[in-house]
Amino acid sequence: MSAPTARRSLLPLAVLGEHLTNRSAKTCQYRCGNPCAHPVPNTSANEYFGDMVATAVSRRSVLLGATGAAVVTSLGWSTAEQAYAATGRGRPSMAGFEPIAPTPNTVDQLVVPEGYAWSPVISWGDPVEPGAPDFDVHHQSVEAQKKQAGYNADYLALHRGGAGNGAANRGLIVFNNEYTNPELMFPGYDEAAGPTAEQARIEMAAHGMTVVEVSRRGQFAPWTYDRHGTRNRRIHAWTPFHVDGPAAGSEWMRTSADPTGRTVLGTLNNCAGGETPWGTSLSGEENFNQYFNADAAPDPDQRLRRYGITSSGRGWERAEDRFMVAHEPNEVNRFGWIVELDPDDPTSTPVKHTALGRFKHEGATVRLSADGRAVAYMGDDERYDYVYKFVSKGRYVEGDKKHNMTLLSEGDLYVARFTGDGLGDGEWDGTGVWLPLVVGGESRVPGWSVPEVLIWTRQAADLVGPTKMDRPEDVEPNPHTGAVYLALTNNTRRTPAEVDEANPRPGNKYGHIIEWVEAGNDAAALEFSWRIVLIAGMPGDGSTYFYGYDKSLVSPISCPDNVAFDSDPDHLWISTDGAPGTIGTCDGMFLMPTAGPDRGKVQQFLSVPAGAECCGPVVEWTDRSVLLCVQHPGDGLPSSYPYLGDPVPRPGVAHVYRVTGGGRG
């Protein structure tokens, strides 16, 4: 059946279906391998930096806990109604939109501000490559899926331009297809039995990345995709990747299918990402562990356990033996990397860059240093894991894409240590250092070779004393100011004894955001100054902090995941993943100014359908244009997002655009 084009009107799910079950545990299982149900992988003796000895009770209700460490008190939150009242609605907004009220987690629809509209750009199963059939949920196949848009979109990029006139209204989008929800993809799926080998192969084809050309009829018109675009491309679990960098070809990267250790089939669990100054896309292989079954595999050095590789939750070993670690022990080492794709060249071979280390990469974002080196910021999304930085050896050359695409192949790798300066100053802030792991081609971890540091980066980092963080997600520099923003999505396991000034909330259910500035504002510097700008949650909860703004005028926000910027240097956009399970509302996208009179005024711009998370926003605020990914709609609730009449929800990319006024306002 071809994709219907009518969009569903905004109706509460209560009138759409009666089988309201909570499937959120399924997303935990299929996205991350359900790590919350497993032991924390980081059991290193690496200390918690409980370095804050508060000298006074600050104006933000910071108290000394029983251990002497600072604890942010929670005054509790009474009712959701209070939160809904506290959105700043009805007051003039300097941002150019009226914030929406938090959306109850029963609404199967994108909700946008007054004066804005939205439309789907491309959804799972839409035809992408030549010969791709129209989406038909009842006749899925591996060959069809390899040519159709992949499943759960996360990272998203828009590349403007093209030949001829009107280039501003043409371009391409790149989006990741992080993982699959087989229980939503396949009608009649047998959850107890797991996927058949054929279903596993279709899931493998639905992973990876999608590139499609897009166009629009004018500055304030919706973007649509071109199923016949010449640069359209699917990257999936069998797409060949070239491995480069110091670990390429090492004994731990070789398999029976690839004795050279330099060519890997596929990329998995690609979460966030970033654009390089030279026009390529970087993408993080995140929860790769869940695809591998480590039954009967020896693990004398805990190298599997530290990455959470235990037994498969996917059953993909039924389809391909490479996912059985005992049979192909090095295949698992070939995932967990940052990959680089040149979307302008559909014949190019994407690359896995070993120089950037191997962990559960959320993504990577690049800023040039003062002397032109490429600096990539990276988070390892696991409770108590770390933040990393790569500094290239070579320098960026304007206009030389071929050269610039070598920059991430060789350079230095660091991991961050955050030190607080105490709470007597009323701020969660301090200084930080980048601890060396590999510098100048030499390992800085005693007894470890460079390939070992890069393949088992988590354990190498454990040995140098970085700060254990509350799940580092997106790390991205503001392109106008150079200040770097780190989303720490949550960590409910952090105990009062484990808090530090950079991770100050025990049982951190709602997450927070840290801002830092490198010494001299040079991305390659080895020291930085940091402060917390947001401690998320319900505004009435005393543990929250909105950069000092009046909490009666902000939107509730929980579990920041992606951050983004636009043409206004003060605009920090935040998308969330976890509001339904923490504050009971739909996830969404928020604006938080970082300077000026509205500094800290979190305002909700949109919400995604019930059960979904909001990912990858691309904001062009001059055009009042927001592209975003809607991931796992239908998780725990029946959904037909985004098309009326579809029997299954279709994750994908949507466009929000202004329909009244246009321009600034």
Binding site for ligand FEO (CB under 6 A): 154, 178, 271, 286, 362, 381, 473, 561
Does residue 561 bind Ca ion (CB under 5 A)? yes
What sections of 20-91 are H helices per DSSP? 24-32, 80-85
**Pairing status of strand 351-353 against strand 240-244:** parallel
Supply 431's token pair. Answer: 């200084």
Phi, psi of 265 (to 5 degrees): -90, 110
Greatest distance between any 2 Cα atoms in the chain? 68
Q: Are 86 and 551 in contact (CB under 8 A)?
A: yes
258 binding partner (options Ca ion, ligand FEO, none; Cβ < 5 to 8 Å by kind): none
Of the pair 561, 570, the CB lying nearest ligand FEO is at 561
Let me know how many helices (H) and strands (E) the chain has, helices first.
9, 33
382 binding partner (options Ca ion, ligand FEO, none; Cβ < 5 to 8 Å by kind): none
At 177 the three-state DSSP class reads: strand
Instruction: By CB under 5 A, tell whether 568 contacts Ca ion.
Output: no
Q: How far is the CB of 562 from ligand FEO (least distance, A)?
A: 9
Closest CA to 612 of 583, 645, 590, 636: 636
Q: Are 280 and 370 in contact (CB under 8 A)?
A: no
Among 213, 429, 598, 623, binds Ca ion (CB under 5 A): 429
Q: How far is the CB of 389 from ligand FEO (least distance, A)?
A: 18
- C-beta of 420 vs 588, nearer to ligand FEO: 588
Q: Closest distance between ligand FEO and the C-beta of residue 382, in Å?
A: 9
Which tokens sit at 596? 């000026």
CB of 375 to Ca ion, least distance (A): 21
Q: Which of 226, 421, 568, 620 binds Ca ion (CB under 5 A)?
A: 421
Task: Report the candidate in 253, 313, 323 with the shortest Cα–Cα distance to residue 32.
Answer: 313
Q: Which of 452, 577, 635, 646 binds Ca ion (CB under 5 A)?
A: 577
Residue 286 interacts with, from ligand FEO, Ca ion, none (CB under 5-8 Å by kind): ligand FEO
Q: For 237-248, b where at least 16 C-beta lie within 10 A, e where not — what string?
A: bebebbbbbbbb
- Residue in the structure block whose two tokens are 């590349």: 159
Which residue, 83 or 559, is less far from ligand FEO as judged by CB?
559
Per-residue CA distances from 530 to 90, 420, 519, 524, 629 (Å): 34, 9, 11, 16, 30
Return the H-helix or E-strand segment holding 420. strand 411-420
Contact between 145 and 202 under an 8 Å Cβ cutoff? The reply is yes
**Partner from Ca ion, ligand FEO, none binding residue 429, C-beta < 5-8 Å depending on class:** Ca ion
Residue 271 or 586: which CB sits closer to ligand FEO? Answer: 271
The yes or no reply on residue 299 touching Ca ion (CB under 5 A) is no
Residues 96, 665: contact at Cβ < 8 Å? yes
**What is the C-alpha separation between 209 and 312, in angstroms, rounded?**
23
Contact call for residue 183 and Ca ion (CB under 5 A): no
Q: Is the distance from CB of 92 to CB of 99 less than 8 angstroms?
A: no
CB closer to ligand FEO out of 213 and 381: 381
Q: Rounded to the nearest whole angstrom, what is the least distance from the CB of residue 271 to ligand FEO in the complex?
A: 3
Q: Which does 425 bind (CB under 5 to 8 A by kind): Ca ion, ligand FEO, none?
A: Ca ion
Residue with smaller CB distance to Ca ion, 473 or 570: 473
Decide whether 321 or 427 has the Cβ nearer to Ca ion: 427
Q: How far is the CB of 553 from ligand FEO (least distance, A)?
A: 30
- Residue 563 touches which of Ca ion, ligand FEO, none (CB < 5 to 8 A by kind)? none
Q: How far is the CB of 34 from ligand FEO (least distance, A)?
A: 13
| Residue 470 interacting partner from Ca ion, ligand FEO, none (CB closer than 5 to 8 Å by kind) | none
Binding site for Ca ion (CB under 5 A): 271, 421, 425, 427, 429, 473, 561, 577
